[in-house]
Amino acid sequence: MNERARAVLERWEEIAQALSQPEVAADVARTQALLRERADIEETALAAEALKKLEIRRADCEAALQDPELAEIAAAEARNVDRMIAEQQALLDRLTRSADPRDRRNAVVEIRAGVGGEESALFASDLYRMYTRYAARLGFTVEAVSASPTELGGYREIVFIVSGRNVWSRFKYESGVHRVQRVPVTEASGRKQTSACTVAVLPEAEEVELRIEPGDLRIDTYRASGAGGQHVNRTDSAVRITHIPTGIVVTSQDQRSQIQNRAQAMKVLRAKLLDRAQAGADAAQTEDRRAQVGSGDRSERIRTYNFHESRVTDHRIGLTLYRIQDIMDGDLDEIVDALEQRAEATADS
């Protein structure tokens, strides 16, 4: 058993012990945090526990080999257990290779139109559709938080939350600049144009991970517009939250009530504050810690979508696929799997 798996198993046992304590049970926030952490490490902990039991069985076989009457049976059992140990160890190596504790989290996704004017806004809408369809394929749910639509059906900006099991592990490679090459519907001459959108994917932060002082927030309400039903034009249900120390501003207007919009906006704010703190920590690390699949910097061009050639190229790994319509319909697994494999190979080297 590798050291990382052993540490996970020890933490699993610590959490079980903590949850049995009356003082912990009385603390709702701490209990919820421990339950979430337990869910995060459950698969790895159970695999480590199974390997531990197999190792005990192997030791029993070794003892039985010393008995002439049991030696033949023990040898056969030892070979069987050795095979199971190898399989279980391979599983644990895979589970602990990336070992990013954020992999099981939900994701906050922001898409912003960039170079290209209205065509960029239309591409932002296409990316939103691509991600919602990809999420649906994986059984995830998507909740829009805020949007700035354009008259032609595009988005200057759209923010949404993707929820489910292992969301971050499947969306985390999407941060960066996405470039599109095609003839815009706004181009009367039929000339191909290059436009771009910026995508930011942030892991949803837990409430217990960082403390936000109420005095550091300025909360404004206003009348929402756009999707959401007729109520948005009659009530001040939209919420804008400004985090005064950092100047970060988040909004939410797609929920039916002010309370719901405030809760959604706080999720986005926590994610942004955690991302800022993580970015500060990453900046202190050396350059060779950066994965070959990219730094995650939103200024980095990561992918080009060429509609004329039906081509999608991920520049970080040099992967080109000639089935753009499938990809725009949410079939992203081949790209994400390749990025994940490169990240694992880089981590092992």
Write down the pLDDT at residue 308. Answer: 93
Question: 269 with 161: CB under 8 angstroms?
Answer: no
Can you give the pLDDT at residue 170?
92
Contact between residue 327 and residue 335 where contact means Cβ atoms under 8 Å apart: yes
Q: CB within 8 A of 295, min separation 6: which ones?
A: none
Provide the terminal-to-terminal Cα distance of the chain, rounded to the nearest Å: 20
Residue 120 confidence (pLDDT)? 94
What is the set of domains in the chain, with CATH numbers? 3-98 (1.20.58), 107-204+285-348 (3.30.70.1660), 208-283 (3.30.160.20)
How many CB atoms are located within 10 Å of the residue 189 CB? 5
Read off the DSSP letter of residue 206. P
pTM value? 0.70
Give the SS3 label for residue 324: helix
pLDDT at 280: 62
**Predicted pLDDT of residue 36:** 79
Looking at residue 287, what is its pLDDT? Answer: 41
| Helix residue ranges per DSSP H, the chain | 3-19, 22-25, 28-64, 71-98, 117-137, 167-171, 258-283, 324-328, 333-348
Phi, psi (deg, nearest 5) at residue 44: -70, -40
Token code pair at residue 251: 């909004």
| CB distance 155 to 149 below 8 Å | yes
Note the pLDDT tens digit of each residue in 102-111: 787 899 999 9
Q: Which whole-number Å values give the CA distances from 205 to 76, 160, 246, 278, in the listed order? A: 50, 14, 17, 11
Cα 263 off chain centre by: 20
Low-confidence residues in the chain, pLDDT < 70: 97-101, 188, 207-209, 225-235, 280-299, 347-349
